[in-house]
Structure 1
Amino acid sequence: MSRKSSLQNQLVTLFGGSGFLGNYLSQALLESGARVRIASRNPERSHRLKPLANLGHIQFVRCDINDPRQVRAAVSGSDMIVNLVGSFGGDLIQLMGDSAGDVAAAATDAGAKALVHISAIGADGESSSSYARANAHGEDLVRKNFPKATILRPSALFGQDDNFTNLFAGLVQMSPVLPVFGPDSPLQPAFVDDLAEAIVVALENPSRHGGKTYELGGPEVITMMEFNQRIAKAQGRKRIFLPVPDPMSAAFAALPLTPINRDQWVMLKEGNCVSGDYPGFEKLDIKPRPLSLFLDKWMVRYRKHGRFGEEASGPAN
């Protein structure tokens, strides 16, 4: 980030900062001149960021977000706080609901200037998905305990090392015939770097963005079938995609040890697009980038013979 930032020397604590989004956000914050404290159950996963930080500009704290005492210790001395914690497993109401409220309360007690809470598109207290209900519960507690918090609801995130695009890329690489769950379900994937920038912008100007909720989706809407087809094309592979009827895919998602659980299935069927009821990237002065801008480059390693193989538009197998 080349522009001058108001985050210079501000201490920003990231709960869940050792995850996928945390890696990109930490780099964006360090580039802004902020000091970063990564609070996580496994902070050592972020040690690779050390060479990117100036002396004293990155700290690592072991913290279980479900323990209010550990949360308060991690927040101590922070100027700003970001809660990135999310999961599809475990006690979601506790992890993304009650614990999010504890972070907000600790932020208030610590006198933090800003709090950004990462929720998700589809947060809904009436949803049949426990993931959506947990996110809604967390949002409610965050607003109650830190009224000027900025809540960001991103769509599914993509990045070069994500667990989303690469999951399907691996399947396309291995199998000539693939089932597609929810083939007509719409997606509006967002680039992880764009979300990281959105968080930085919200922290830089809490007087403008505090107390607001933003829905952040990418610039293009595609279906699950189109998503798989794009990946196959970028790999230069011919694949047969079989739409799976909803009753069959719902039954599959209900089984143990499958790649998709019931919550993910419900969210897939509901779609992953902005509702239009909340401001988006444009209100943060960010022009989001589409998956199509990166996909061909990222799929090179999945092609037969890698960069020495056929181009994506060439013969496939």
Structure 2
Amino acid sequence: MALNIIIKRSLFSNNHNFVLIPIATYSSQNFRTLDENFISIKRGTGYRSSFNGIVCTVFGGSGFIGKNIIQRLGKYGTQVTLKFSVIIPYRHELYSSFENKTAGDLGQIYFSEFCLNDDDSIRKCMKYSDVVINLIGKDHDTWNYTLEQVNIEGARKIAKICKEMGIKKFIHVSALNASPNPRAFMIKNGSRFLKSKWYGEIAVREEFPEAIIVKPSDVYGEGDTFISYYGRTSRLINRTLYLWAKGFETIKQPVFVWDVSHGLYELVTRHVQDVAGKTYQFVGPRGYILHDLCKFMFANMWKNEKWGFQIEDARLDLCFQIYRIILNKFYLTSPSHLQTLERFEREHVSDEIEENGLTLKDLGIKKLINFEDMMFSYSLIWKAPGEFVDDVYQFQPPPPPKIIREI
């Protein structure tokens, strides 16, 4: 803490009298807020505008999970008198990240431009941070980066710079089914995304052994790529959903985005020694067969067999396979609603949970949200138009899908 002196001229006298006013300011050197000595230094009255906590950098804050964790950092910072200053690096136009500005009070949310090829810009983003969260991930190639350059080399670079900058806690978000040899369906060697996430974890451990790795399953919620993936008409062909073996060979255990952000929040706020070097599996409380899960989603979207909606085996339809190959080969910047062979591969890999692995419940989150409890709210936007009158009393909720396993 530094002490500044302001010399102020008296406005209520004709003579030239001056008053010395001491003002307490806070040096940026004190931003290492995981130090217990600094936590005792309060700023403000302890309410929403105060700072009394952690400086956190969130790479990938404009994404689906990133927006939710930033909202939670701002929300719970007020309630527990632990206010976060969040630094949001961005790689695109600034306005695509501006919706995060309202997550915290004035001066609590910062935006910093960076590039994965510019080490200095990455260092600038985490210069005053205690915690860094890496949510950057790519599931297809672009003009500037390949999938491997982002998920492996990008993760390695961020972890390496975190170590150089003395970051106390680094949280890397990977994927649940990351594997060097994922099961193959329509791609010969399996999903490139799952492979890259596996080698990305190895790269992070090599550069930052104390890093915390989070492996979430399919995350659903408002603006997700799970419910919306099956809800889009582009996923269907003539009102038919094609799944590998009709989805009977796949088990999925989706997790609600608010549970994921809650878990990340717990990792950010807990003592470094309690979570350093550990790997957590962020999965929902219940697992379902993919066929039953899709059938349940369709029922909530009013896409019933009565109106021609059905689920068929992708192995037996040549037209669907050709359609996927074309979408996988010809796109300019990004695939059409992720309708590629890569997405199809990940879609049918069953969620495998380590028996003794750490989960959200090990972070004290005992009551996880069930998928069937949230499905109706997030499926209304994808309902089939023109089939029913929009009357709340007309729609009868379908029976929930069969539960295969629980945690």
TM-score between the two structures when normalised by the length of structure 2: 0.69
| In the alignment, structure 1 residue 290 sits paired with structure 2 residue 290 | no
- State the partner residue of 1:4: none
The whole-number CA distance in structure 1 between the counterparts of 2:235 and 2:279 is 39
| Cα distance change of structure 1 residues 80 and 56 upon mapping to structure 2, 3 Å threshold | same
**Aligned with 1:255 (options 304, 326, 336):** 326
The whole-number CA distance in structure 2 between the counterparts of 1:233 and 1:269 is 21
Q: Which has the higher contact order (CA 8 A, sep 6+)?
A: 1
- State the partner residue of 2:32: none
Listed as ranges, the matches of 1:15-94 within 5 Å are: 15-31=59-75, 32=77, 33-42=83-92, 43-90=94-141, 91-94=146-149
Q: Is the 8 A contact 2:152 2:200 kept in 1?
A: yes
SS at match of 1:88: coil
- State the partner residue of 2:186: none
Select between 253-262 and 39-48 the one with higher mean Cα deviation.
253-262
Unaligned ranges ≥5, structure 1: 1-6
Task: Write the deviation string for residues 191-227 of structure 1: whole angstroms up to 9, x where unpaired.
Answer: 1111111111111122111101111211111222222
**Aligned with 1:156 (options 208, 218, 240):** 218
Aligned length: 308
The whole-number CA distance in structure 2 between the counterparts of 1:175 and 1:247 is 14
Select between 203-212 and 43-52 the one with higher mean Cα deviation.
43-52
The whole-number CA distance in structure 1 between the counterparts of 2:112 and 2:268 is 21
Q: Is the 8 A contact 1:125 1:133 kept in 2?
A: yes
The whole-number CA distance in structure 1 between the counterparts of 2:213 and 2:321 is 31
SS at match of 1:256: helix
| Cα distance change of structure 1 residues 269 and 162 upon mapping to structure 2, 3 Å threshold | closer
TM-aligned CA deviation for residue 270 of structure 1: 2.2
Q: Is the 8 A contact 1:8 1:34 kept in 2?
A: yes
Listed as ranges, the matches of 1:1-317 within 5 Å are: 8-31=52-75, 32=77, 33-42=83-92, 43-90=94-141, 91-127=146-182, 128=189, 129-171=191-233, 177-182=239-244, 183-184=247-248, 185-205=250-270, 206-239=272-305, 240-246=309-315, 248=317, 252-257=323-328, 259-276=338-355, 278-287=357-366, 288-303=368-383, 304-306=388-390, 310-313=394-397
The whole-number CA distance in structure 2 between the counterparts of 1:137 and 1:302 is 36
TM-aligned CA deviation for residue 247 of structure 1: 6.4
TM-aligned CA deviation for residue 158 of structure 1: 0.1
The whole-number CA distance in structure 2 between the counterparts of 1:11 and 1:146 is 19
Select between 272-281 and 144-153 the one with higher mean Cα deviation.
272-281
Q: Is the 8 A contact 1:14 1:38 kept in 2?
A: yes
Letter aligned with residue 90 of structure 2: S
TM-aligned CA deviation for residue 49 of structure 1: 2.6
The whole-number CA distance in structure 2 between the counterparts of 1:262 and 1:174 is 14
TM-aligned CA deviation for residue 161 of structure 1: 2.0
The whole-number CA distance in structure 2 between the counterparts of 1:121 and 1:192 is 15
Q: Is the 8 A contact 1:139 1:151 kept in 2?
A: yes
Rg larger in 1 or in 2?
2
TM-score between the two structures when normalised by the length of structure 1: 0.88
| Cα distance change of structure 1 residues 213 and 45 upon mapping to structure 2, 3 Å threshold | same
TM-aligned CA deviation for residue 104 of structure 1: 0.8
Q: Is the 8 A contact 1:78 1:112 kept in 2?
A: yes
The whole-number CA distance in structure 1 between the counterparts of 2:391 and 2:52 is 41
Select between 21-30 and 295-304 the one with higher mean Cα deviation.
295-304
Q: Is the 8 A contact 1:85 1:96 kept in 2?
A: yes
Matched residues, percent identical? 21
Q: Is the 8 A contact 1:188 1:273 kept in 2?
A: no
Letter aligned with residue 284 of structure 1: L
Unaligned ranges ≥5, structure 2: 1-50, 78-82, 183-188, 329-335, 399-407
TM-aligned CA deviation for residue 251 of structure 1: 5.4
The whole-number CA distance in structure 2 between the counterparts of 1:108 and 1:159 is 33
Task: Write the deviation string for residues 124-176 of structure 1: whole angstroms up to 9, x where unpaired.
Answer: 22343211121111111111111111100000100022122023223399987
TM-aligned CA deviation for residue 88 of structure 1: 0.8
Select between 232-241 and 95-104 the one with higher mean Cα deviation.
232-241
Q: CA RMSD in A?
A: 2.6
Bigger fraction of residues in helix:
1
The whole-number CA distance in structure 2 between the counterparts of 1:254 and 1:172 is 14
Q: Is the 8 A contact 2:304 2:310 kept in 1?
A: no
Select between 192-201 and 296-305 the one with higher mean Cα deviation.
296-305
